[in-house]
Amino acid sequence: MTDAQYLQEFEAGRISPGDFSHRMHIRVARELLIEAGPDDALPRLRAGLRTILAKIENPEGPGYHETLTVAWLRVVQSALLRNSGEDFEAFAGTHPELMNSGLIFDFYDRSILDDSEAREIFVPPACLPLPADRPPIQG
């Protein structure tokens, strides 16, 4: 399935929660950023994630997390600016660090992400600034 087809499946709600791994989160984020740009990618990503989460039988489970969604989108956007890759597999090969879900802890302390406020609204990182928050590199 192409990246564009996978995005269509995601937005149509045809991806099962069990098949939507961290790697697939990154794949969808990349494709949305390429297709829609950062302003339109975020609401589409939110909607798709909420659709997938609605399929989970345990409504008491972790659920949607705004801070993680925004933070990962910014991290993927920064990587895209450096090298978008021909397709997702090329992108993943160029940016293997993104395939590690623990990367987010370079930016956030676990206690911030565990807080209910971070699930509801975007909370800025306390450790390192997110790539889009960093000043541009001066040459």
Whole-number pLDDT of residue 136: 42
pLDDT digits (tens, 9 = 90+) for 10-25: 999 999 888 999 999 9
pLDDT higher than 50, residue 118: yes
Q: How far is the C-alpha of 53 from the C-alpha of 31, rounded, in Å?
A: 20
Whole-number pLDDT of residue 59: 56
49-61: average pLDDT: 76
Angle of helix 22-54 relative to helix 66-82, nearest 10 degrees, comes to 150
33-52: average pLDDT: 92
The pTM for the full model equals: 0.88
Whole-number pLDDT of residue 62: 65
Q: How does residue 58 score in pLDDT terms, banded at 50, 70 and 90?
A: low
Which string of b and e fits 43-60 if b means at least 16 CB within 10 Å? ebbeebbeebbeeeeeee
What the block records as the tokens of 44 is: 């589409």
Instruction: Specify the residue for token string 């302390």.
Output: 109
pLDDT above 90 coverage of the chain, percent = 69
Domain boundaries, the chain: 3-133
Nearest C-alpha neighbor of 120 from the set 42, 80, 67, 74: 67
Residue 37: its H or E element: helix 22-54
pLDDT higher than 80, residue 137: no
84-111: average pLDDT: 94
Q: How far is the C-alpha of 87 from the C-alpha of 60, rounded, in Å?
A: 36
- Amino acid, single-letter form, for residue 114: D
55-61: average pLDDT: 64
Give the HSE-up count for residue 44: Cα atoms under 13 Å, Cβ half-sphere: 22
